Amino acid sequence: MKNIIAAFLSSLCFVVTTGAVAQAWPTKPIRLIVPYPAGGGVDASGRLIGHALSEQLGQQVIVENRGGATGRIGTEAVARAAPDGYTLLLGSGAPNAVVPAVTPNLPYDAIKDFAPVSLVATTDYVLLVHPSLRVRTMKELLALARARPDELTYASSGYLSNTHLAAELMNQLANVKTRHIAYKGTGPAMVAVLTGESAMAFGGGPGAVPHIKADRLRAIATSGTKRRHADVPTISETIPGYAVNQWYGVIAPAGTPQQVIARLHKEIVKAIANPKIAQQFSNLDADAVTSTPQEFAAMIRSEIEKWRKVAQVAGIKAQ
């Protein structure tokens, strides 16, 4: 009986202590790991939400860039971090959905090792081509691809990146064959299309706008289900069922106290509701959004399954 009472008191102390820690959170700076180098949409989104949370929480949110291996290095670091609310991840499609869908021996479990908190933004890709390609519509591009199978190349920001699988989904749904060339990041992939080294790429955001306006790149279509710009159609208008977007969200290590998750979610919702923050995301050609932790977790599971099917059909395997 004494042992039972002692065990009960011990567990009660743990619950009380955990609750007290969670209620006091945060009492020190928080690390928000961005698993990519500085620059680009993931980094910009991380810095936006990090700055907003710093102001609201009264504690500094330090953005730490840990790039490498298509986001795997920084993502694994968060999976192995203490679940105390002081190490967070700015999650995104490649390391949290595409890579797990294809890689059997990944050093982290994309579902079990994380506690999703909320989405913060989504954006569509723009299918960009070099002007010398002499196509202006998706129908013309697909006709050219069918006439020249395996000749047209597309640049991606890396093997197993979202832009890699976005093109493969297009190939499958449109029954065309284009050839993949992987680059080390969005910037080099964009340069490859600008110089004509690659015929096309899924890119976008503010970085592409000056090149489009100067006729150095041509915007053929966007990857979402609705038009972002009236004069640029969606791919789905030509290829029914096509839909790809990039998403960014805050993710904690599994085991993080629910009180911390709830507080963090509340603060993210508050930040995204701020018109100033929403406009800053809009300047990145992204939509500021939120979700419940449950909705975010369900979305990640759905994305993993979607990209697993695409990879299997394309014969894409982990390297």
Residues 42 and 109 in one domain: yes
**Model confidence, pTM:** 0.88
What is the predicted pLDDT for the residue at 4? 53
What is the predicted pLDDT for the residue at 39? 79
Q: Is position 114 within any domain? A: yes
Q: For residue 130, what are its two tokens?
A: 């070099």
Instruction: Give the residue from 68, 72, 66, 65 showing the smallest Cα distance to 99.
Output: 72
Q: Is position 167 within any domain? A: yes
Q: Looking at residue 271, which CATH number applies to its domain? A: 3.40.190.150
Give residues with Cβ within 8 angstroms of 207, minimum separation 6: 186, 187, 190
Residues 254 and 300 in one domain: yes
Q: Is position 150 within any domain? A: yes
Q: Is position 113 within any domain? A: yes
Q: Is position 1 within any domain? A: no
Residues 67 and 104 in one domain: yes
Residues 107 and 145 in one domain: no
Domain final residue, candidates 204, 237, 270: 237
Domain final residue, candidates 216, 237, 258: 237
- Could you tell me the mean pLDDT of each successive run of 10 residues in the chain, 319 residues long? 52 48 84 91 94 97 93 97 98 96 94 98 95 95 96 94 96 97 88 95 83 93 91 96 96 98 98 96 94 98 97 90
Residues 115 and 251 in one domain: yes
The helix (H) or strand (E) run that includes residue 146 is helix 138-147
Residues 93 and 157 in one domain: no
Residues 51 and 137 in one domain: no
Q: Looking at residue 213, which CATH number applies to its domain? A: 3.40.190.10
Residues 53 and 34 in one domain: yes
Q: Show the domain range for 117.
A: 28-123+246-314
Other C-beta atoms closer than 10 Å to the C-beta of 319 total 10
Residues 150 and 55 in one domain: no
Other C-beta atoms closer than 10 Å to the C-beta of 207 total 16
CA dihedral of residues 83, 86, 91, 95 (deg, nearest 10): -60
Q: Is position 138 within any domain? A: yes
Residues 163 and 117 in one domain: no
Q: Is position 302 within any domain? A: yes
Between CA 293 and CA 316 the distance in angstroms is 30
What is the predicted pLDDT for the residue at 127? 96
Residues 42 and 136 in one domain: no
Q: Is position 203 within any domain? A: yes
Number of domains within the chain: 2
Domain final residue, candidates 184, 212, 237: 237
Q: How big is the CA angle at 119 (ends 91 and 100), to the nearest 5 degrees?
A: 35
What is the predicted pLDDT for the residue at 15? 46
Residues 199 and 256 in one domain: no
